[in-house]
Structure 1
Amino acid sequence: MPQIPIMTTGGGFTTFRWLCTIFGSLFYLGDIVSDLLLSVQYFRSGHATWAALTLVFVLVGSVCIQIFSYAWFKDDKENDEVVDKGLSTPHLIGIHVLQIGIFTRYYHLLKKSFKTLCSGKTQEVEQLGLHLFALATDLSMLRMFETFLESVPQLVLQVYIILEHNHRSNLQYISMAVSFVNIAWATVDYRRCLRRSLPHINEMPCGIPTAVYLFYKIFTITPRILSLTLFIMLSPFSTLAMALIWFVGTTWAFVEKTDFCISPVLEHLYRAIVGVILVFTFFNIKGVNTRVPMTVYYIVSVCQNLAAPILLYLLKPESEGTDYFKPILFFILITNSLGLGFLALYYSLLHPRGYVAEEIDGIDGLKQETKSTRLDRFLQI
């Protein structure tokens, strides 16, 4: 077997990137399997509501990404993009109905990139590099959708069960750990893949910039998860307030007139998903200066995060005597401070600048006169 080159040029799809795709598929599979097993465990122990909620989050995330995956496959075929010729329309419908569309994408990407890397032909790798990264970016976008529709809400649910009902199991901890790894991987992998797949912007450097960006996201999402959990512990009706936050985020996406999807129906679904993401972290959904919206978002977010333990203490004084109250309060204070600190550090010193100063979720906006592709529309988030 020909030796796979360690580094490539041009497109830059390397052996390391291929291995990252392997790891990404394993993290995704582990997240789904652990949650399904946890749902079965809850059902067998008589906690039907917990089992149903755990399963619902899995199904909602899976169904949504299958819808987008099918739409993108169909869009590629209609625009004569390079797609697997064996995937007829009935075949595509079948694999997505069976909820294995994303695994099909992983298989095609791994197979095609492996053949390219094994060829040892530098020119071929250069020609296909951007196409391979385009396929990887499709996957990373789907993974990001799944992360905020399934992994993050799943963490809120499991933390609530542990703190409020004192129900603990090894499978719970495994599921939470895998979900957390999935969140970290998906947020960074999406950003790196998107920047790498577009030749007209600078890619995200490895090392310290990537680590700082990861810490910024993790240290702002984690206290958000804990504070929302405390609100639910205060009153189940707090979920109505979360629904209001989602509604505000979704409305903002409509006001900004996002243009991510060709189909109006899919665009509405996309905006609803953006609303879910905005419950947990900030995303620049349009190519405009977002310094003010981001500042307002995190001021409101920090106030909400701090209000959760304060209200729990005032309205449920008995919570102060629990073994979790003070550690969680301390953790929220520390992670909020660290998250905002890493945010300021990244965007002031480490953010790779492209041709223009405006950024869409950290991506430099750039309007091209060439034919618009899905990757260009990825910038509209």
Structure 2
Amino acid sequence: IMTFTKLNFTMSVLGIVIYVADIAADIWVTSNYFCEGQYSLGILTLVFRLLSSIIVQIFSYEWFKDDCGSPDPVKLNWIFLLHFLHGGIFTRYWFALKDGYQAAFKQNSSGDKLTGGPASIIHKRAIDAVTDISMLKVFKTFLETSPQLILQIYILMEHDKAAFSQYASIITSFSSISWSTLDYQISLRKSVPDKNQFSGVPPKLIYLLYKLFTLTSWILSIALVTLLNIISSIFLLIFLWTLGFSWTLKQHTTFCTSKRMEFLYRTVVGIILIFTFFNVKGEKTKMYISSYYAIHVLVTLGIMCVCLFWKTSVTEQLYFTFVSITIVLTLGLGIICLIVYNMVFHPTIYFKQESASDKVDGLAGEREKEEISRIRNFIME
């Protein structure tokens, strides 16, 4: 049963505050780079920020068009203008908070669970709005935050000195990336009625640790490659993106309503797959996820061997021992958390399916299935 609670509303308010703070932090970091004469770093930061923002605005605007069906041209023009000015997320937060406030504080869905009445509809609208925001934030995370984090770590290791604020920023970035994947998983499962809900502290904690540890190990590994040779790092990332993009092509994804948007979606998923596993079809993934992390383990071991035997100047640095131990330890802990999650805490195991009598049926059920067609098959694992 889909309900948008007061806690969900509070988290949405917190989400927009964090989003604004993130923009302010990017502006502050970029201005510092330019003030210190590090123009290349400032330009790179701006490129990551603008590119991710443009892609997010494109997806957001196309989703608005898809959801409206036959929209008012004047209203659509205003929405286009807001997205052109990079205000797409703010526009979505406005609708999410407006519907969320009504659902959490003004409506009572208890009497409309089986009828699909106005209360349940407003709850669903609020949940779907938050789910779309969560997915857009996942896109932003892997298009902007992850590359910037690799850049930060590379600068830290290259100069072998940093302020406390840089260490704090790196730790915060790792946590932010992991949290965005968890938030998306929770929001998406909540928006799909026939999926087991992602609730309870133990499953969320294990899932968060699995993402945090595997992402930490992998990003540190890429940073090491970048330190060895920037060109080699670029070729590695392009190769991994090609594998991820090819896999999405083979999966014949149907996420978008147009071919050009589907191509863009597959391109973005290919980038996400560089950093973490992304289930693009909502199908059983044991074989795929096992293969994915087996490749990660082999590539990580290969990177460590190259560091040890190819460029001794890197291994002589004080940070190398600490980084190497962190890579191996977090990779091992991440794999262990993944195994524990899938064997014990996965929603299909940890929670029983709701009985058929608790589900919406009839015309309301058919309508609900149509409305969630965009996101129902895209469960991140």
1:154 aligns with 2:154: no
Report the counterpart of residue 212 of structure 1 in structure 2.
Answer: 206
Change (3 A) 1:214 1:154: same
Unpaired runs of 5+ residues, structure 2, are 112-117, 353-364
DSSP 3-state at the match of 1:218: helix
Report the counterpart of residue 180 of structure 2 in structure 1.
Answer: 186
Written as runs of structure 1 = structure 2, the 5 A alignment for 1:37-52 is 37-52=28-43
Change (3 A) 1:169 1:54: farther
Change (3 A) 1:282 1:87: farther
Aligned-residue Cα RMSD (Å) equals: 2.3
The alpha-carbon deviation at position 22 of structure 1 amounts to 1.7
* Moved segments of 4+, more than 6 Å: none
1:312 aligns with 2:299: no
Assess if the C-alpha contact under 8 Å between 1:31 and 1:178 holds in 2. no
Report the counterpart of residue 23 of structure 2 in structure 1.
Answer: 32
Equivalent-residue separation in structure 1 for 2:306 and 2:74 (angstroms): 54
The alpha-carbon deviation at position 278 of structure 1 amounts to 0.6
The alpha-carbon deviation at position 12 of structure 1 amounts to 2.0
Written as runs of structure 1 = structure 2, the 5 A alignment for 1:68-87 is 68-78=59-69
TM-score (norm 2): 0.87
The alpha-carbon deviation at position 173 of structure 1 amounts to 4.2
Equivalent-residue separation in structure 2 for 1:352 and 1:163 (angstroms): 40
Report the counterpart of residue 143 of structure 1 in structure 2.
Answer: 137
Change (3 A) 1:205 1:92: same
Assess if the C-alpha contact under 8 Å between 1:39 and 1:51 holds in 2. yes
Report the counterpart of residue 364 of structure 1 in structure 2.
Answer: none
TM-score (norm 1): 0.87
Equivalent-residue separation in structure 2 for 1:14 and 1:87 (angstroms): 33
Change (3 A) 1:292 1:118: closer
1:131 aligns with 2:125: yes
The alpha-carbon deviation at position 290 of structure 1 amounts to 2.3
Q: 2:47 aligns with which of 52, 56, 65?
A: 56
Change (3 A) 1:49 1:42: same
- After superposition, the C-alpha distances for 1:8-57 in whole angstroms (9 at most, x for unaligned) are xx422111111111222222222232122111111111111111111111
Change (3 A) 1:246 1:307: same
Assess if the C-alpha contact under 8 Å between 1:21 and 1:110 holds in 2. yes
Change (3 A) 1:178 1:111: farther
DSSP 3-state at the match of 1:52: helix
- After superposition, the C-alpha distances for 1:325-369 in whole angstroms (9 at most, x for unaligned) are 011111111111110111011111111129xx9xxxxxxxxxxx9
DSSP 3-state at the match of 1:88: helix
Unpaired runs of 5+ residues, structure 1, are 1-9, 358-368
Report the counterpart of residue 322 of structure 1 in structure 2.
Answer: 317
The alpha-carbon deviation at position 129 of structure 1 amounts to 1.7
1:249 aligns with 2:244: yes
- After superposition, the C-alpha distances for 1:43-74 in whole angstroms (9 at most, x for unaligned) are 11111111111111111111111000000111
1:116 aligns with 2:116: no
Report the counterpart of residue 195 of structure 1 in structure 2.
Answer: 189
Equivalenced residue count is 356
Report the counterpart of residue 100 of structure 1 in structure 2.
Answer: 87
DSSP 3-state at the match of 1:285: coil
The alpha-carbon deviation at position 374 of structure 1 amounts to 6.1
- Identity of aligned pairs, percent? 35
The alpha-carbon deviation at position 75 of structure 1 amounts to 1.0
Report the counterpart of residue 363 of structure 1 in structure 2.
Answer: none
Q: Which amino acid aligns with 1:134?
A: D
Equivalent-residue separation in structure 2 for 1:328 and 1:343 (angstroms): 22
Change (3 A) 1:29 1:309: farther
Equivalent-residue separation in structure 1 for 2:371 and 2:239 (angstroms): 31
Q: Which has the larger displacement, 170-179 or 235-244?
A: 170-179
